[in-house]
């Protein structure tokens, strides 16, 4: 009797171990596991799926192997399931930030992805349940979002189902499932500017915020985009502070001045630049003079070009700066003088040709800016 008990116990242990141990093998049905990830703006989009093959079934995929609408899988708890948008396990799609799908909001997170196929209009379903196996336990009460899209015929057959990103910008992309001779695309949109600013806020609180360059980079990005300028000014304050080491850096002060100018604080911007100009090297001052010319501030631009020439006399860059500075204030005689001085110092044929063109314009009494 005791021996029989041992045999029963041994049999139970073996059967338990057998059910718990599985070896790594190919997915069932000869399908392939796959994953694709892309960064749209700063948003990571990751899709995990199994790839069924056409395997000689052309013309029998859509509407047959992939049924129309919702069907009873005859297994599991669901009586009305969409297609699993792949094979075997759940197809999942994950977004690192909030997104818009076909113009509808979807929070950041990981979703089960399903498609109710129709030759005229497909319903894409993003389910809060990303862990169930296949579509056998699909429950519409777990839907996070449904959108309708038009399927698109393909000229060339795609043997193995795949997901592809296209038409990518910093704010959007098209994601399409492609299989056999059909694609089912949908548009993804992200708020890149919002995400980027939030990323700056987080990173500036790490060791990356120990240096003036990081604060200046964030402030300058907002300046270039003409967005979030009030906070950008605070970042510029940090960039120019003694603690972060930017108090002796021309570029940090120039960024702050340009933000102040954008905010309509012209007097404060001028005071900041007065402090910054002595810190600038020849290239810094020349570029700032160009900036002032673009801002239609001809007299201010001339003053900067003159300061640069006085600090760095008889250089190609500073002679060219004064030529443009004099031209901007209408003194074509002196502009011609400095253009002629610059000509023999031109570093290459391209610059020499440009200077010759300036000289001809100035001889005709025309502004070269």
pLDDT tens per residue, range 341-351: 999 999 999 99
What value, to the nearest 5°, has the Cα angle with vertex 185 and ends 174 and 173? 5
Decide if 47 is inside a domain: yes
Counting DSSP H helices and E strands in the chain, the numbers are 11, 10
The last residue of one of the domains, among 129, 160, 190, is 190
- 137 closest CA partner among 191, 192, 89, 86: 89
Are residue 359 and residue 220 in the same domain, yes or no?
yes
Range of the domain at 98: 26-190
**Residue 76 confidence (pLDDT):** 80
* Contact between 122 and 70 (Cβ < 8 Å): no
Distance of CA 265 to the CA centre of its chain: 32
Half-sphere exposure of 313 (CA within 13 A, CB side): 1
Model confidence over 219-231: pLDDT tens digits? 999 999 999 999 9
Same structural domain, 250 and 160: no
Q: 298 and 154 in one domain? A: no
| pLDDT confidence band for 28 (50 / 70 / 90) | low
* Short-list 190, 163, 160, CA closest to 93: 163
Confidence label for 10 from pLDDT (cuts 50, 70 and 90) = very low
The residue from 135, 168, 190 where one domain ends is 190
CA distance 314 to 341: 8
- The last residue of a domain, from among 156, 190, 224: 190
Number of domains in the chain: 2
pLDDT of residue 21: 57
């Amino acid at each position: 009797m005791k021996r029989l008990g041992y045999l029963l116990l041994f049999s139970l242990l073996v059967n338990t171990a057998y059910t718990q141990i599985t070896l790594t093998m190919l997915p069932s049905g000869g399908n392939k596991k796959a994953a694709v990830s892309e960064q749209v703006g700063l948003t990571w989009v990751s899709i995990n799926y199994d790839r069924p093959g056409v395997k000689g079934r052309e013309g029998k995929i859509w509407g047959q192997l992939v049924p129309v609408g919702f069907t009873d899988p005859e297994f599991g708890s669901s009586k009305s399931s969409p297609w699993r948008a792949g094979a075997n396990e759940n197809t999942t799609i994950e977004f690192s930030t909030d997104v818009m799908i076909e113009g509808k909001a979807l929070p950041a997170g990981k979703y089960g992805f399903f498609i109710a196929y129709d030759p005229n209009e497909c319903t894409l379903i993003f389910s809060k349940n990303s862990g169930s196996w296949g579509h056998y336990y699909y429950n519409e009460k777990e839907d996070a979002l449904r959108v309708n899209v038009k399927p698109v015929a393909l000229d060339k057959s795609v043997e193995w189902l795949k997901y592809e990103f296209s038409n990518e910008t910093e704010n959007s992309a098209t994601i399409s499932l492609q299989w056999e001779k059909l694609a089912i695309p949908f548009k993804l949109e992200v708020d890149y500017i919002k995400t980027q600013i939030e990323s700056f806020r987080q990173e500036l609180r790490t060791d990356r915020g120990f240096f003036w360059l990081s604060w200046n980079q964030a402030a300058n990005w907002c300046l270039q985009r003409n967005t979030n300028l009030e906070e950008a000014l605070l970042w510029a304050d940090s960039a120019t502070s003694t603690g972060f080491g930017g108090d002796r850096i021309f570029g940090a002060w120039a960024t702050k001045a340009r933000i102040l100018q954008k905010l309509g604080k012209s007097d404060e911007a001028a005071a900041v630049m007065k402090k910054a100009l002595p810190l600038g090297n020849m290239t810094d001052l020349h570029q700032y003079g160009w900036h002032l010319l673009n801002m239609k501030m001809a007299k201010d631009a001339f003053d900067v070009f003159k300061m640069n020439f006085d600090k760095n006399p008889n250089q190609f860059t500073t002679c060219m700066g004064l030529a443009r500075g004099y031209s901007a204030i209408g003194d074509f005689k002196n502009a011609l003088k400095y253009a002629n001085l610059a000509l023999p110092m031109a570093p290459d044929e391209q610059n020499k040709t440009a200077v010759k063109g300036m000289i001809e314009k100035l001889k005709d009494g025309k502004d070269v800016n």
